Structure 1
Amino acid sequence: MPTAWAGGGAPAFYLVRLRPGADPEAVARRLTDVVPIPEYRVWPPGELSASTVRYWALESGAGTLFLASSAIALVITLMVVSQTLGAAVAGAMREYAALRAYGIGFRSVQRVVMKQGLYVCAAALALTAAASAAVLWFLHLRGVASEMPLPLAGAVGAGLALTVVVSNLFALRRLRRADPASLLR
């Protein structure tokens, strides 16, 4: 019966394993009736897990810290990717200007730049998936219980794709401001 210890030396919780065939609800009722402490609760594994996640996400401050650090990382990522795509557009500005001077419409040139951004997005998603798989594999080798639920992986991928698309729109501003005649001199 493993225990977790609170700061005052008293156990914060006990984890117990029931014999096969035991009724968990009956055991929980019996334990609750025996212990007259109001803070004492008996939780099945699913409820304990949900309660722990809820505590760490909403009550401990760790969830707020995680969200704040994620927002900062997103802003920095957006800035870095935007600057990188902007530099790529600036580096090829003469070629884009030549396309415009040959009579190719701005929308067509815009599509070329957006396709470049989609290639960057695909590469970023592939690298992120490979890095995530490597981390999960490493944790598995070390015996650390970890998982990446598919909805979470999808949300991360969608966030990454959105970051690249927004960054690409920032890069398009440079292209819009460029005058083809001045760039061909």
Structure 2
Amino acid sequence: MSRLLQALFGRLPIGWLQLTHSRTRFAAALAGVAFANVLVFVQLGIMQSMATATLTPYGFFRADVMISAPDANAMAEGGNVARQWMLQAMAHPEVTSGMGLFLANVNWQRAGEGLSLTTFGIDPAQPEFLAPELAAKTAPLQMRMAGLLDRLARGLPRDEAAGIRPQAPLSFETSGQTLTLYDSFAGGGGFGGDGYMLVSDQTFLSLFPGRSSAAPDHILLRLRPGADPERVAAELRGLVSDKTLRIRSYAAAAQEDLSYQQTQRPTGVIFGFGVLIGVLVGIVIVYQVLSTDVADHMREYATFKAMGYGHRFFLGIVFEEALILGLLGFVPGALVGGGLLTLMGRITTLPLAVTPGMVLSVLAGTLVFSILSGAIATRRLAGADPADLF
């Protein structure tokens, strides 16, 4: 390692030699940096899983414009929307079709353990509003009390979910009624439920008799090919009588939901602070190691300074140490953090995983806070008189 660093820096790797002089202290410093990396990886992984879980239900549908209630900050939040606004919106020349989307949670009790399924009520006669995987499976939804189940739902055995098909349906009791599942699709557990289910709007109203067919949770609109959803949404805000409605392009609605989850919901804010705390822990650990090292070698630094070496030379040594700590501490931190996220993903069925973008961002952040710590640690040397350092 010394030869490699000497070839890299073009000089004796003083920083490496100082760090490895006390191997116990060096190992403790690497463990501290790795711990900070683990914190950041886990928090970023959870934030990423929140983003994936938030956007997953939007992927079930194919729409260009979405009309929601004024308080609908997320797909699963807010009041209902009168169906009459869909009829007004369809008067726009670019709008070709509309569909009411119903949404609520259905509980399924299984051997003492309950599953909460986020259930969507749709019009099975309009498969063009569904993703291709779902559109090909809507035929059974024409029957009363029929549904499609998320085969990745949390708490549902994979072999049982894989066995659900039209020839071998699965039935369960909910709200005093029997619901029969005829097929499955890929969704996954999220933060608001254990999985998803798709039923017809008529089945949905049977499950929730207090709801009205005239008041879905959202209205989805499809436009003519080539139409600009943002422009049409803006024009619909002037066309529809209720000016309080949230009329957005479908893509904008998904991004607003994601932003709301990450910046306004308590869970998103907490995970964001978790990332910040991990970074601060890393800065403090690296700074403590480097400042202690500077103090321990103050006489040597004073000798170099008396010989005419400038502050850039000392910065180079400390930055060398900072980069070594950052890089070598990052590797075990990434491995442990990735292992923890994989384990948590298996237990919770949340989409927890380390992505290449996450690895690069954490590595860059580690190098930045290591260099920042090194710069802070050399402040004492900047204006010191060599005679005062002995």
Tell me the TM-score normalised to structure 2 length.
0.36
Runs of 4+ in structure 1 displaced over 6 angstroms?
18-21, 24-28, 49-52
Q: Does 1:129 align with 2:331?
A: no
Q: Does 1:14 align with 2:119?
A: yes
Q: Tell me how far 1:101 sits from its aligned partner.
A: 2.1
Choose 1 or 2 for highest CA Rg: 2
Cα separation, partners in 2 of 1:60 and 1:109, compared to 1, 3 Å: closer
1:1-185 equivalences in 2 (<5 Å): 4-5=105-106, 13-14=118-119, 22-23=135-136, 31=201, 35-39=213-217, 53=258, 56-139=261-344, 142=347, 144=349, 145-184=351-390
1:64-91 deviations in Å (ceiling 9; x for gaps):
2222333344334323322221111111
8 Å CA contact retained: 2:283, 2:373: yes
SS at match of 2:378: helix
Q: Tell me how far 1:166 sits from its aligned partner.
A: 0.8
CA-atom RMSD, angstroms? 4.0
Q: Tell me how far 1:175 sits from its aligned partner.
A: 1.9
Q: Tell me how far 1:179 sits from its aligned partner.
A: 2.3
SS at match of 1:13: strand
Cα separation, partners in 2 of 1:106 and 1:62, compared to 1, 3 Å: same
In structure 1, C-alpha distance between the alignment counterparts of 2:265 and 2:345, rounded to whole Å:
27
Q: Which letter maps to 2:118? A: F
Q: Which letter maps to 1:160? A: T
In structure 2, C-alpha distance between the alignment counterparts of 1:113 and 1:129, rounded to whole Å:
24
In structure 1, C-alpha distance between the alignment counterparts of 2:260 and 2:293, rounded to whole Å:
45
In structure 1, C-alpha distance between the alignment counterparts of 2:361 and 2:326, rounded to whole Å:
14
Q: Which letter maps to 1:165? A: I
8 Å CA contact retained: 1:86, 1:174: no
Q: Tell me how far 1:172 sits from its aligned partner.
A: 1.3
Q: Tell me how far 1:24 sits from its aligned partner.
A: 7.2
In structure 1, C-alpha distance between the alignment counterparts of 2:214 and 2:335, rounded to whole Å:
52
Q: Tell me how far 1:5 sits from its aligned partner.
A: 4.8
SS at match of 1:131: helix
SS at match of 2:354: coil
Worse-superposed segment, 19-28 or 151-160: 19-28
Q: Which letter maps to 1:175? A: L
Q: Which letter maps to 2:376? A: F
Q: Tell me how far 1:105 sits from its aligned partner.
A: 3.0
SS at match of 1:14: strand
Quick check: which one's strand share is greater? 2
Quick check: which one's helix share is greater? 1
Tell me the TM-score normalised to structure 1 length.
0.68
In structure 2, runs of 5+ residues without a counterpart are: 1-103, 108-115, 122-130, 142-197, 206-212, 221-250
Q: Tell me how far 1:163 sits from its aligned partner.
A: 1.0
In structure 1, runs of 5+ residues without a counterpart are: none
